[in-house]
Amino acid sequence: MLFLALTASYIYTRIQMKIPPIELPPLFIINTVILLTSSYTMKMANDAYKSDDTEKYVQSLVYTIVLSLVFMASQGVAWTMLFKNNIPIAYSTTASYLYVISFLHFAHVIAGIPFLILFIRAAKIRMKDPVSVLVYFSDPEKKIKLKLLTSYWHFLDILWIYLVVFFYLNHLIS
């Protein structure tokens, strides 16, 4: 709801104040691909969990973290590109919205990383022999937590796609 309210406010403010839309750096599209790939690796982790594949499970979680870090670094570069194009946060109200909205999404990505790390840590500590692997993979609570984290990750991707499409389509509104 927060992002929906912010994007609605963006449109209202832009139209009322007759401010032109902000042109996104192409890196926002690349970031979309990075996030979609991280969503895929999260799905791979979930699938590996269901098939009791210890190595692929941990590896997929690590890939998800790495892709998230790449996304965050790339997003930092995208913000730098905006600054270099003379679009700092105080450039206009719409620029402020763009920075705030994309930073809030960024913060949600950061918030998910500790949970990924906890899953990796738990797997490395608890999955030492075939019996502990069986116990780990048959834990219904862990299965629910992984499913929730996977849903959260997919939601972040869907949200990012919505935001990027929203900002690109904003050029059609005059």
The per-residue pLDDT for 70 is 97
The per-residue pLDDT for 9 is 85
CA gap 14, 157 in Å, rounded? 26
Distances (CA, A) of 144 to 63, 92, 130, 138, 149: 21, 44, 22, 11, 9
Q: Are 7 and 163 in contact (CB under 8 A)?
A: yes
Distances (CA, A) of 146 to 43, 92, 133, 141: 10, 41, 16, 9
Q: What is the residue extent of each domain of the chain?
A: 2-172
Alpha helices in the chain (DSSP H): 2-17, 27-50, 54-84, 93-126, 130-137, 140-169
The per-residue pLDDT for 174 is 59
The per-residue pLDDT for 128 is 73
Superfamily of domain covering 2-172: Cytochrome c oxidase, subunit III, four-helix bundle (1.20.120.80)
Distances (CA, A) of 33 to 38, 43, 56, 87: 9, 15, 22, 24
Say which residues have a Cβ less than 8 Å from residue 115's Cβ, sequence separation at least 6.
Answer: 149, 152
The per-residue pLDDT for 133 is 67
Q: Are 7 and 105 in contact (CB under 8 A)?
A: no
Task: For the chain, 174 residues long, give each residue's pLDDT as a single digit of tens.
Answer: 888 888 888 888 888 888 888 888 889 999 999 999 999 999 999 999 888 888 899 999 999 999 999 999 999 999 999 989 888 788 878 888 888 999 999 999 999 999 999 999 988 877 777 776 677 677 788 889 889 999 999 999 999 999 999 888 887 775
CA gap 48, 43 in Å, rounded? 8
